Amino acid sequence: MLYITDTAHWQFLALISGFLAWILTLSTAGLNEWRIWLVDNTTVINSGVAWIGVWRACFYSHVLSEIEFCQSLSISESFLPVEIKLAQVLMMLAVIVGLIGNMAGANAMRMAYFSMEDRSKIGFAFLLAGTLYLLAGVSSLLAVAWNMNSVLNNRTIAFPPEYQFPAAPVRQKVGSAIGVGLFASTLMLLSGLLIICIFSILTSTNSGRTRQYLG
């Protein structure tokens, strides 16, 4: 009969990957380079390049060319497109759920290696961690993919005058934050799937051997 401690090294690998994915998800949420706008009017934006994230819109101004000028983006702003508002919610959800998944996974590893009590709950703890990783991965993937689609379709943002952004960029491209987010989401999903698959294999194997023994 297989025990969950016999394959704990695989769960440990999945949890390490999940923790790395969570750090990258947290970084993605904080990065400004979700959208890169290339503008032709350099009167204010002297570099001709502006960065738009889910929380801030930034550029270098001719007034202080060495200082990045940023304006915050609030979910209550009416001019923000729905994909940015949704990304603010989904990225925070992914960070929080991923953190809880890390805690559940760490507790499962503690029970698997060090605890002699409540051994029957180890499988549930791993299953909970895997499920939370899947939820976090789906949340961040949806946010990143929707914003990437908006960039690829050259959808603009109607910034108010005080933001000093043009009505539309000459061209826009996908920023580095979206690449990091796609990698983080994929890694998070793979971590969750690995944990759940191992748990399912253990459950089905042990159930089959139990029926064979009883028969």
Residue 83 parent element (H or E):
helix 82-113
pLDDT at 7 over 60: no
Residue 22, C-beta contacts closer than 8 angstroms, at least 6 positions apart: 95, 98, 99, 101, 102, 136, 184, 188
Asked, for residue 24, whether it belongs to a domain, the answer is yes
**Is the pLDDT assigned to residue 5 strictly greater than 60?**
no
pLDDT for 18-60, tens place per residue? 999 999 999 999 999 999 999 887 677 877 889 999 999 998 8
Structure tokens at 167: 């009505």
Q: Within 13 A of 106's CA, how many CA atoms are on the CB side?
A: 7
- The DSSP result for 90-157, as a single string, is HHHHHHHHHHHHHHHHHHHHHHHHT--S-GGGHHHHHHHHHHHHHHHHHHHHHHHHHHHHHHHTT---
Is the residue at 15 inside a domain? yes
* Domain assignment of residue 67, yes or no: no
Which residue segment(s) compose the domain that 81 sits in? Answer: 4-32+76-161+176-199
Amino acid at residue number 169: P
Tell me the chain's radius of gyration from C-alpha atoms: 23
Q: Is residue 112 part of a domain?
A: yes
Q: Are 193 and 10 in contact (CB under 8 A)?
A: no
Nearest residue to 104 (alpha-carbon basis) of 124, 120, 83, 76: 124
Mean pLDDT for the chain overall: 84
Q: Give domain status of residue 65, yes or no.
A: no
Q: Which amino acid is at 125?
A: A
What CATH number is associated with residue 19? 1.20.140.150
From 167, 95, 159, 107, select the one nearest 132 (Cα to Cα).
95
75: pLDDT confidence band, cut at 50, 70 and 90? very high
CB 136 within 8 A of CB 98: yes
Q: What is the spatial distance between Cα 161 and Cα 150, in angstroms, rounded to a whole number?
A: 22
Q: 103, exposed or middle or buried, with CB in 10 Å at 0-12, 13-18, 19+?
A: middle
> What's the gap between Cα 179 and its chain centre?
11
Is there a domain that residue 111 lies in? Answer: yes
**Tokens at 58, concatenated:** 């930034």
91-95, 112-116, 202-206: range with lowest mean pLDDT: 202-206
CB-CB contact of 85 with 75 (8 Å) = yes
Q: How many domains does the chain have?
A: 1
Q: Which of 63-67, 97-101, 117-121 has the highest mean pLDDT?
A: 97-101
Q: Is residue 44 part of a domain?
A: no
Question: Of 63-67, 121-125, 171-175, 203-207, which range is least confident?
Answer: 203-207
pLDDT (0 to 100) of residue 2? 44
The answer as to whether 213 is a domain residue is: no
